[in-house]
Chain A
Amino acid sequence: MNAAHERTGAFEYLTTRKDELVGWARKFSIFPYPFVTACCAMEFMSVSSTMYDTDRFGAALPRFSPRQSDLMMVVGTITHKQAPILKKVYEQMCEPKWVMAFGVCATSGGFYRNYAALQGIDKVIPVDVYIPGCPPRPESVIDGIMQLQDKIAHSRHPIINEKF
């Protein structure tokens, strides 16, 4: 008897919505691109390594090419001189893509209000999750990742071609 056709009675079939299935798959395979410019990098290292471990959320393996990544983590102050680079890297990422503003500088410019600092990266690129703090606690970063997972799970994932 062919084992592949043997009926066991459990999970032979699964009915679900396509968006839920794709969202469930995508939310556990967030490949981050760390766009790290400043001191928040220390907190990024802390949150991504053993103690707090973003790998538990499927978001641990940094891709150092924007073309292979899903989530751009903008970690640190962005200056006006840096802004064109940020925008170019964002445009190089493939859909679907998300952006996290990590820390108060990326969110709003933080305490920098001068000729040099961009007053929040959302002036240049769209942002999905803002994480406050200078630097943010690892718990807030994990909370941000979980909020992003919820957002991914509950959003539409349009059909890519006629086969899917």
Chain B
Amino acid sequence: MDAGLLERVRERLAGEGLEPAFAHGLLAVPLPRERLLSVVKMLRDGFGFDLFLDVTAVDWPGRDPRFDVVFHFYSTRGHQRVRLKTTVTEADPVVDSLVPLYGSAAFMERECHDMYGIRFRGNEDLRPILLYEGFQGHPLRKDYPKDREQPLVRYRE
């Protein structure tokens, strides 16, 4: 466990004009989406955050920008976690893909695209992974009716 790792990351990011803060034992960093790729590259190459844990989104209906896109990273040597959080609008829900940096990102970005309709610039393969072809809408958005079903088989009479 590298106790000083997160503090070094915090100093470095604070020096670049970001506002990292500790939350629940990890470092949470809000940042604009334009800086996502450069910060992730710095975390991976400079601080050894070699494992991409997950990307997901949070829908805030009524807020503008509407979506948070949240990334988690882990250092398998330092045993520390970092969370990056960026925002996108409903009209332009696009962030840069992390596929050039982490191959596993391809699948998690597909899931995030399924569930929230976030598009990842640079990920060429955003086919449905948990949903199926022809599914309309994005079920984890708050405005998706919670009992709307899209059956693939015609129901019996």
Contacts and interface: CB of A to CB of B under 8 A. Distances in A.
Given A113-B146, A114-B146, A80 B156 contact: no
B149 A115 contact: yes
A70 B131 CA distance: 32
B155 A81 contact: no
Interface string B135-157: 00001000010111111110110
Given A81-B131, A84-B153, A115-B146, 10 more contacts: A80-B132, A84-B152, A113-B147, A115-B149, A115-B150, A119-B149, A122-B156, A123-B151, A124-B155, A125-B156
Given A84-B153, A124-B155, A114 B132 contact: no
A81 B152 contact: yes
B139 A80 contact: no
Nearest to A86: B153
B149 A124 contact: no
A73 interface: no
Contacts of A81: 131-132, 152
A83 B151 CA distance: 8
Interface residues of B, number: 14
A101 to B, nearest CB: 14
Contacts of A87: 153
Contacts of B152: 80-81, 83-84
Contacts of A115: 139, 144, 146, 148-150
Given A81-B132, A124-B156, A114 B151 contact: no
B38 to A, nearest CB: 36
A146 interface: no
Nearest to A88: B153
Interface residues of A, number: 16
A118 interface: yes
Interface of B: 131-132, 139, 144, 146-153, 155-156
Q: Is the interface of A mostly helix, strand, loop or mixed?
A: loop
Nearest to B144: A115
A124 B153 contact: yes
A120 to B, nearest CB: 10
A7 to B, nearest CB: 56
Chain A CB within 10 Å, residue with most, of B131, B150, B151, B153: B153
20 contacts: A80-B132, A80-B149, A80-B150, A80-B151, A81-B131, A81-B152, A83-B152, A113-B146, A115-B139, A115-B146, A115-B149, A115-B150, A119-B149, A122-B156, A123-B151, A123-B155, A123-B156, A124-B156, A125-B156, A126-B156
A114 B14 CA distance: 43
Contacts of B150: 80, 115
A94 interface: no
A85 to B, nearest CB: 10
Closest 5 A/B residue pairs (Cβ): A115-B139, A123-B155, A83-B153, A81-B132, A124-B153
Nearest to B128: A81
